[in-house]
Chain A
């Protein structure tokens, strides 16, 4: 498949993520949107990696063919770590203020 399709897909996922982060106030949804953005990048990385593996340079030395996909695993690990911390924060927030509305957290203002 054409690489452009992958780019378009991941770009639209990413923008959906951004818009979600910007317009939603529910912390959980914001969190999911962030994950969406991460995964959009992951998708892009995999797509490029695949494209790269097909190029003549990479064919000459198969060793490098799938290196980029390692990053995806890294990102997934980081994302997992983030989920644990992030969800914990959201839970704590809910416990303290009984809401997951981020705009409720404006104490820094004053």
Chain B
């Protein structure tokens, strides 16, 4: 048949091999070897994915069975891979963007020690392996394996500089919050197993099986799956780990916390679209949560001064947009936005990495400024990224965002207007970032000023490629209103039902025109406001609240962490030591006390013993008499 499907297992195994070699040989490999090796295995996977894509594009899909993972009478879970349009698309994003980021990392991480360098690449490869498992898995369990695997790698990479306690705290927070989501995912799986006894995609989405599920089942399962997605994709209420996750090296933020891992939730819901389309309540929840997150995170991003934090909140906000699309049933738009977002957000993260590299580790944009003169490639590519995310026509973000807005509009005008407002905020804060960082005059120290330089080729070339993709990436989904055929929609149609949103061409033109004009106004406002940027005084009122991220972390500390600690303390100090151990020791003490009282009988006086004996005999004698 198709030989490529026989080799499909190589796609995840190649990064695994890279991980093993780099991990085991971290002390002996030179930096160059480990960097090249790590990038080469990802390139290998990318090429295989590309070949697979060519097959799949012709409509050939496959379910590749590897071995039986769990095989019981009542539950059969196979270790197999589902290779179809959706998974191959993600494969290409992961391996393609992943490869670029690996190459970038070889330069970015150059100052690390040899064995830490190899460790970094080992983790990165392991991440790609897990992520590939996640998207390739032929059932929810394999997806879950990858799902937890990427969470682990995220933990390891956020805490990569493990001597810094703040970083390891961030890593821990990310892992624990992800685990909360994972519990939701797991419970959804158990629910599925208890109702239809399988987690295999093909069987779950089978019409006959779906019919076995009641309305409550479907709503419950999809809600629980969505809980899982909120953990991994950083939605309200589990989003606070993502900004903290910026503690990791910048390429990691680009790969894991922008382009790939955080989109796992979108992938999962898109994969389960057959289930979600049946659950209208869940869709409403997803819409609201997605939109709320988008707005909320965007509002925070306006007031942040850490270049990576701004990008992180921007990511949360964009993910919110994707969930909005999912909630409105437009899965294609969500996947489309995943794709374009992967390009421009990875671009901006790598760009910010380049800036941080040049600034010698400084991340505060108040201390930057005027960097355009010193690093033109970074500046221009970053500018392209900003244009793309703002949704300027012609750039990739325009097409995907427009589709989401149109989809929201077809549901309700309220949704649309909030989403549009969020889009304006996005344009505003991105250009605020750009203007403060790259234009004006330099505000850092003199040392930093002398050190400013354009990054090496290994970093700029990925930037250029991603910039190119950020421009052209949108053209695979040109809507029909603009004379396109929406290739992506057609491509995904076997997996994801495409939604017609009954908008006439003229309405669409109107929407596009409106959003474009407003975005331009927002950009202009940012330009006016920040072109002569001076370090602002301490913010007050709403500004302060925004700067402090709406105090969400503090709130969680108060309502979850502190009570939990109090309960644990209560268990530890009161129940365990006083109550249970007290009861146990109490039995011992009681016996001790009792025997101390009984001890008086054992006076040691022979006479007393004899007396007792006689009394005993007499008692026996009388008992005998009475009976």
Please report A residues at the B interface, Cβ cutoff 8 Å. 18, 21-23, 25, 102-103, 105-110
**Distance in angstroms between the alpha carbons of A56 and B614 in the assembled complex:** 38
Query: Smallest CB–CB gap between B43 and chain A, Å?
Result: 86
Assess whether B602 is in contact with A25, with CB atoms less than 8 Å apart.
no
> Which of A21, A23, A103 meets B605, CB within 8 Å?
A103
CB distance A107 to B604 under 8 Å? yes
In the bound assembly, the distance between CA atoms of A102 and B603 in angstroms comes to 13
Contacts of A102 in B (CB 8 A): 605-607
User: Which listed residue, B602, B607, B614, touches A109 by the CB 8 Å rule?
Assistant: B602
A106's partner among B603, B610, B611, B614 (CB-CB below 8 A) is B603
Secondary structure class of chain A's binding surface, majority of residues:
helix
- Per-position 1/0 for B561-586, Cβ under 8 A of A: 00000000000000000000000000
Q: What's the Cα separation between A109 and B599 when bound, in Å?
A: 8
Among candidates A22, A103, A108, A109, residue contacting B611 with C-beta atoms closer than 8 Å: A22
Contact status A108-B602, CB under 8 Å: yes
B610 A22 Cβ-Cβ under 8 A: yes
Which of A22, A23, A25, A108 contacts B604, CB < 8 Å?
A108
The 8 A CB mask of B605-625 against A (1 = contact, 0 = none) is: 111001100100000000000
CB pair B606 A22 closer than 8 Å: no
Nearest B residue to A102 via CB reads B606
User: What residues of B have a CB within 8 angstroms of the CB of A107 in the complex?
Assistant: 604
B614 to A103, Cβ gap below 8 A? no
CB neighbours (8 Å) of A108 from chain B are: 602, 604
Q: Are A22 and B607 in contact (CB under 8 A)?
A: yes
Q: Which residues of B contact A103 (CB under 8 A)?
A: 605-607
Size class of the B contact interface (CB-based, 8 Å)? under 10
User: Counting chain B CB atoms within 10 Å of each CB, which of A23, A106, A107 scores highest?
Assistant: A106
A22 and B602 contact, Cβ closer than 8 Å, known pairs A102-B607, A103-B607:
no
> Which B residues are CB-close (under 8 A) to A105?
604, 606
Pairwise interchain contact A21-B610, C-beta atoms closer than 8 A: yes
Is B607's CB under 8 angstroms from A25's CB?
Answer: yes
Chain B, Cβ-Cβ closest to A108: B604
Smallest distance from the beta carbon of A103 to chain B beta carbons, Å?
5
> Interface readout for B154-169 with A: 1 if CB under 8 Å, 0 if not?
0000000000000000
Contact, CB under 8 Å: A18 / B605:
no
Minimal Cβ-Cβ distance residue in A for B608? A103
Contact string against A for B residues 585-609, beta-carbon threshold 8 Å, 1 for contact and 0 otherwise: 0000000000000000011111100
Across-interface contacts of B606 in A (CB, < 8 A): 102-103, 105-106
CA of A25 to CA of B607, assembled, Å = 7
B135 CB, min distance to chain A CBs, angstroms: 79
A28 to chain B, nearest CB (A): 14
Rounded to whole angstroms, the CA-CA distance of A25 and B611 in the bound complex is 13
Q: Tell me the bound Cα distance from A103 to B610 in angstroms.
A: 12
CA distance A109 to B603 in the complex (A): 5
B614 & A18 in contact (Cβ 8 Å cutoff): yes
**Known contacts A103-B607, A108-B602; can you find 11 more A-B pairs with CB under 8 A?**
A22-B607, A22-B611, A22-B614, A23-B607, A102-B606, A103-B606, A105-B606, A106-B603, A109-B603, A109-B604, A110-B604
- Cα separation A22 to B605 with both chains bound (whole Å): 11
How far is A23 from B608 in the complex, measured between Cα atoms in Å? 10
Nearest CB of chain B from residue A31's CB, rounded to whole Å: 12
- Per the bound structure, the CA–CA distance linking A108 and B601 in Å amounts to 12
A18 to B606, CA, bound (A): 14
Complex CA distance for A21 and B608, rounded to whole angstroms: 10
A residues in contact with B610, CB < 8 Å: 21-22
Min distance, Cβ B615 to any Cβ of chain A, angstroms: 10
A residues in contact with B603, CB < 8 Å: 106, 109
Chain A min CB distance to B472 (Å):
98
What are 21 contact pairs spanning A and B, CB under 8 A? A21-B610, A21-B614, A22-B607, A22-B610, A22-B614, A25-B607, A102-B605, A102-B606, A102-B607, A103-B606, A103-B607, A105-B606, A106-B603, A107-B604, A108-B602, A108-B604, A109-B602, A109-B603, A109-B604, A109-B605, A110-B604
Closest to B606 in A: A102
Closest B residue by C-beta to A110: B604
- For the complex formed, measure the closest distance between the CB of B475 and the CB atoms of chain A, giving whole angstroms: 100
Query: Taking CB as reference atom, which chain B residue is nearest A107?
Result: B604
B600: nearest chain-A partner, CB-CB: A109
Alpha-carbon gap, A22 to B617, bound state (A): 14
A106 to B608, CA, bound (A): 11
Q: Which residues of B contact A25 (CB under 8 A)?
A: 607
Query: What's the Cα separation between A106 and B606 when bound, in Å?
Result: 8
Give B185-220 as 1s and 0s: 1 = Cβ < 8 Å from A's Cβ atoms: 000000000000000000000000000000000000
Q: Please indicate the chain B residues that have their CB under 8 angstroms from the CB of A23 in the complex.
A: 607
Q: Which residues of B contact A22 (CB under 8 A)?
A: 607, 610-611, 614
Name which residue of chain B comes closest to A21, CB basis. B610
Assuming the A-B contacts A18-B614, A22-B614, are A106 and B604 also in contact, with contact meaning beta carbons closer than 8 angstroms in the complex? yes
Q: Are B605 and A106 in contact (CB under 8 A)?
A: yes
Smallest Cβ distance from A24 to chain B, in angstroms? 8
A110 to B604, alpha carbons, bound, how many Å?
8
Q: Measured between alpha carbons, how far is A108 from B607 in the docked complex, in Å?
A: 13
- Shortest A48–chain B CB gap in Å is 19
A99–B83 Cα gap in the complex (Å)? 102
